[in-house]
A and B are shown apart, each in its own frame.
Chain A
Amino acid sequence: MIYNNIRRLRFDRGEMTQEELARLAGCTRQTVIALEQGRYVPSLELAFRIARAFGVSLEEVFEYHV
């Protein structure tokens, strides 16, 4: 399973809005919501864009647990 820390990372950045993250990552706010709720696993490209939007590495945003 792939988990993500998007909600926490947004919180750490002064409650960055979902809209703001969506704009920075180049996706829709609905996709950010789906990601935070664990209903969607992004493509590698979007995962990198999200990590870049937060200014962290991919592993800090996404975790893989067997």
Chain B
Amino acid sequence: MAPLQKRALVSLVLGLAWTAVLVVLFIVRGGVEEFASDSTTRILLSGLFVAMLVFTGILGVPWKARTARGSEVDERDLEILRRAPQVQLLAVMLTLAGWVIGLTEYYWDEGCMPVTWPYLMLFSTLLVSTLAQSLGVLLGYRGK
């Protein structure tokens, strides 16, 4: 397994585990209503979210690609890394489509939706984008 591939796998597994923790905490602490009204819940979840983005989005695959020595990352790895955004784009588009269609249909009659949802949309889209980068790298190695 190439060093970049290893880093992508670790980032994906840790990212998924971290996402699961975030989702469980979100539900346990009262869901959307509590997130909107309790600033402690919002700060806790936002902190965990930002920590996850920093860990997997910055210290994961991109960090490895930047700091790897010559024999660890070569032109093939960089080519795979360059193609990963295709998977990211697709994942982000599907996530946004899911959110927009779901929320629009759910709140159609009210004509408006709680302000918390756009916040959660941002959270989830960034999470998906970060995880999809690692997934894109892993898929790239399967094809090459």
A residues with a Cβ closer than 8 A to B are 22-23, 26-28, 30-31, 34, 39-40, 42-43, 45-46
Contacts and interface: CB of A to CB of B under 8 A. Distances in A.
B38 interface: no
Interface string B51-77: 000000000000000000011111111
A28 B1 contact: no
B82 to A, nearest CB: 13
B3 interface: yes
11 contacts: A26-B71, A26-B74, A27-B74, A28-B2, A28-B72, A28-B74, A34-B76, A40-B76, A42-B75, A42-B76, A46-B74
A26 B67 CA distance: 16
Nearest to A33: B2
Contacts of B5: 30
A28 B70 CA distance: 8
Chain B: interface size category? 10 to 19
Contacts of B2: 28, 30-31
Nearest to A30: B2
Contacts of A23: 71
Nearest to B4: A28
A42 B77 CA distance: 12
Contacts of A46: 74-75
B144 A28 contact: no
Contacts of B72: 28
B9 to A, nearest CB: 13
B121 to A, nearest CB: 38
A31 B74 contact: yes
B1 A30 contact: yes
Interface string B2-23: 1101000000000000000000
B1 to A, nearest CB: 7
